[in-house]
Amino acid sequence: MSEQPKQINIQDIIDALLKKWHWVTIPLLIFLFFGAWLYVVLPRKFEATTLILVQPQEIPSAYVAATVSTGIEERLRTLSQEVMSRSNLENIIMEMDLFREERAQGAPMDILVASMRKAIEVSTVGGGRGQTSSFTITYRGQDPWKVAEVTNRLASFFIESHLKLRAKQASETTLFLEKQLNELKILLQQQEDKVKDYRNQFMGELPEQLTSNISTISGLQLRLESVQASLTEALNGRLVLQSQLSQMESNQPGVTFTQRAQRISTLRSQLEEARGRYTPEHPSIKMLEQQIAELESVKEEPGGGMDPHVAELRNQLATANIEIETLKSDANRLKARIDYYQQRVENTPKREQELAALTRDYTITQQNYQRLLDRYYEAQRAESMEKRQQGEQFRIVDYAQPPEIPVSPNKYRVGLIFLALGLGTGAGLIFLLEFMDTSVKGIKQLENWSGGVPCITAVPLALTQIDKQRQKFNTLFSIGVNVFIIIAGTIIVGYSKFNQVILNVPIPLPF
């Protein structure tokens, strides 16, 4: 016969529970009273919550765009860091007399601030289209009145900090744009001065003056052609006069004093007329002065005389010379002016490129300046809106009220946890005892243990008087232990509750 390992089924466990019930009741009562004692001595934690609505700006954004473009979640993180800073929480602790016992025991302020920071929770509430429309501020503490007061104080801090944050961002945006605008204004003025100086420097060679220059050149060329035609005619006339004068002078020995005086008078009249028309350095004036000087230097010959026809030819020749010199001077002046305007026309393409570059830079800067100016005006309107508190605001919808029921410890959760621990411990003990018990209980267990050998007969258990007394003692002892646990547990729990014993656990508990 081969020995089989002992197997325990459900029926064996049920039989063991009925026989060894005290192995379940004792740990169950111990855990239940321990849980009840913990529920009594653990400090009550109350929780207060306030709901804050994110109210959009009153003025439509189509008219005044807000300068604050960050999302509400990011702003809430920034505000949370500011509101829950060490200095702010320390002021709340001192003003509202929080953590009095801990401060009396000399607890460091850093630890108290960290504890208070852990007790504060900020949660967003989603609105339509996944946007945050409101958020809640929750604070947990032991005094329900102070919990509500602290929660409302934190809500006020959030609202004030939000207004300051928006006003600060709007003001900084305006100042930044104003600084950029001033810098761009200086650059725009510099480029405008460059364009103006360039136009003044190259006046006459600018692209818009090209047509005028070409028209002027055409007019000057027509005048030059006319002058050259007159000059050619005057030269031909002078040749004729010179030929006639040569023929007549060959037959005329001299000139009388009266004729010379008359000639000098005529030349002086022409000189006065020329001085009124030309400068002293003009060739016509020089020539007339030379002719007068020559006539005045000639000595009169006795008995001499000049043929009137010769005198007339000489006058005509002198006039022709003056006219020729005048026409030559006019032609040279016209050629110089034509060259001058021609140089303007030739320089116009170069000036056009240079002016286009300057104008392009000026136009781009002017456009940037105008866009920046529009943004600056928008920022000013947004800043005015924020100062008047017409922008996006936080509004308290539900103020925190003193809670009546603590959120920790939760009696139902405590009861379930320690009930499960008690039953589990008792069942585990019975299972362990049954597993370690090597005695045979019943025919089926014997047949299983013996490898399937059938049992022929079984003799029932015959209890002696001593066995009966032992069973009775064990039963009474188990009942006594249970009663003792009930009485002792009731006394301990009642004493702790009556004397308000508080147990501060440094680790978080699941209830």
pLDDT bucket at 89, cuts 50 / 70 / 90: very high
Asked if the model's pLDDT at residue 167 lies above 60, the reply is yes
φ, ψ (nearest 5 deg) of residue 137: -120, 125
Q: What are phi and psi of 233, to 5 degrees?
A: -65, -40
Q: What is the pLDDT of residue 476?
A: 81
Predicted local confidence at residue 489, as pLDDT: 79
| pLDDT higher than 80, residue 363 | yes
pLDDT at 50 over 90: yes
3-state secondary structure of 397: strand
**Would you say residue 137 lies in a domain?**
no
pLDDT band, residue 149 (cuts 50/70/90): very high
- Spatial separation of the C-alpha atoms in residues 259 and 268, rounded to whole Å: 14
Pair 303, 368 in one domain: yes
Domain edge (last residue) among 356, 376, 396: 376
Rounded CA separation 72/85 (Å): 19
CB 64 within 8 A of CB 385: yes
Mean pLDDT over the full length of the chain: 78
Res 125 pLDDT > 50: yes
Q: Are 341 and 440 in a shared domain?
A: no
Say yes or no to pLDDT of 112 above 80.
yes
| pLDDT for the residue numbered 286 | 74
Kindly state the DSSP code that residue 4 receives in the 8-state scheme: P
Whole domain around residue 470: which residue ranges? 10-42+409-498
Query: What is the tally of structural domains in the chain?
Result: 2
Once rounded to an integer, what is the mean pLDDT over residues 257-274?
68
In a domain, 124, yes or no: no
Amino acid 48: pLDDT: 92
Cα-trace Rg, the chain: 62
For position 461, what pLDDT does the model report? 62
Q: What is the pLDDT of residues 376-422, one digit of tens each?
A: 888 787 777 767 666 677 888 888 898 888 887 877 888 898 888 88
Integer Cα distance of 140 and 404 in angstroms:
13
* Residue 47 DSSP class: E
How high is the pLDDT of residue 404? 85
Which is more confident, 125 or 471? 125
pLDDT in tens, 238-256: 777 777 766 665 555 554 5
Say yes or no: 435 and 371 in one domain: no
Examine the pLDDT at 1 and tell me if it is beyond 50: no
- Cα–Cα distance measured from residue 208 to residue 205, given in angstroms and rounded to the nearest whole number: 8
For residue 63, what are the contacts with CB-CB under 8 A and spacing of at least 6? none
Task: With respect to residue 292, please indicate whether it lies within any of the assigned structural domains.
Answer: yes
Q: Does residue 64 belong to any structural domain of this protein?
A: no
Q: Are residues 359 and 299 in the same domain?
A: yes
427 in any annotated domain? yes
Domain co-membership, 320 together with 427: no
Same structural domain, 245 and 341? yes
Mind listing the pLDDT tens digit for each residue in 440-450? Answer: 566 666 666 66
C-alpha span between 88 and 479 (Å, rounded)? 59
The answer on 432 and 366 residing in a single domain is: no
- With respect to residue 422, please indicate whether it lies within any of the assigned structural domains: yes
Q: What is the pLDDT of residues 266-309, one digit of tens each?
A: 777 777 777 767 777 777 777 777 777 777 665 544 444 556 77
End of a domain among 354, 376, 398? 376
Identify whether 135 is part of a domain.
no
How many alpha carbons lie under 13 Å from residue 22 in its C-beta half-sphere? 14
Would you say 348 and 205 are in contact if contact means Cβ atoms under 8 Å apart?
Answer: yes
The answer to whether residues 444 and 370 belong to one domain is no
**Shared-domain flag, residues 429 and 325:** no
Q: What is the CATH number of the domain that holds 267?
A: 1.10.287
- What is the percentage of the chain residues whose pLDDT exceeds 90? 14
Element (H, E) at 302: none
Of residues 503 and 285, which shows the higher confidence score?
285
Mark whether 326 and 470 lie in a shared domain: no
Mean pLDDT lowest among 24-33, 189-198, 400-409, 462-471: 462-471
The helix (H) or strand (E) run that includes residue 105 is none
Whether 2 is in a domain gets the answer no
pLDDT of residue 279: 74
Same domain, 238 and 357: yes
Report the length, in residues, of the chain: 511
- 175-219, pLDDT tens digit by residue? 888 899 999 999 999 989 998 998 898 888 888 888 999 999 999
Let me know whether 372 and 413 are in one domain. Answer: no
Q: Record the pTM.
A: 0.57
